[in-house]
Structure 1
């Protein structure tokens, strides 16, 4: 009887640990996006899944796809990596190369439109990346 009780306790502990990790990762990601968008302070909404967030988003398959550079080669020269400061590329299922780290194939990412550029928050915590495209 004691063995069954211990097994149940371990199973509950494992479930709590798995969900706590997911909740913490989601909250960290949401906090970073809110900071990227210029929001200050903590909000209860950071614990909500991303699909319930009201962030401005854009499909990046056009703006962040490789483009022809001056030499006639496809490159990511039009995309300036902000954080981290090195270029990361992703390849979609259809073979399209994006000049940003997209996670899980999600091509709709939070954006921050500025007067002279647009910034994109790609990926998901802890593998996020911010890039800029000049207008």
Structure 2
């Protein structure tokens, strides 16, 4: 009986340690994307406890109608990886970015570049994608 309890406790610790490590790696990647250098203790907090500037993907990263009347992502430039990844939300909305299936979030961090373009970090570590919308 003691072996079963020990095994269950070990299993619970392993599951939580994996989640904590995954969350910390994701938060660290977001901090680097935002240009924050130093390692902060706040990266161990849950993602929803972070104070990043975020936008709703439906408002910014939805597919747009192109000149042919088709749903298109031509207004987005994939930065990393350098190929377009699209995601379909449960309501059928096409999003021009990788919305990680493991931990999808409707709100993604962004940064404004000196030239006025905006970059968005979609997905969840290690399945991130950076896309850029050039200043119009």
TM over 0.5: yes
Tell me which residue corresponds to 1:33: 30
Calculate the TM-score normalised by the size of structure 1: 0.92
RMSD: 1.2
| Greater C-alpha Rg | 1
2:123 aligned counterpart, secondary structure:
strand
Residue 95 (1) aligns with residue 57 (2): no
- Separation in 2, partners of 1:62, 1:8: 49
Tell me which residue corresponds to 1:109: 108
Q: CA deviation at 1:72?
A: 2.7
Q: CA deviation at 1:105?
A: 4.4
Residue from 75, 79, 85 that aligns with 1:78: 75
Question: Which shows bigger deviation, 54-63 or 28-37?
Answer: 54-63
Show structure 2 runs of 5+ residues with no match: none
Residue from 7, 10, 16 that aligns with 2:7: 10
- Separation in 2, partners of 1:107, 1:11: 34
Residue 125 (1) aligns with residue 125 (2): yes
Task: Please state which structure has a larger fraction of its residues in strand.
Answer: 1
1:7 aligned counterpart, secondary structure:
helix
Calculate the TM-score normalised by the size of structure 2: 0.91
Query: Across the two proteins, how many residue pairs are aligned to each other?
Result: 132
Show structure 1 runs of 5+ residues with no match: none
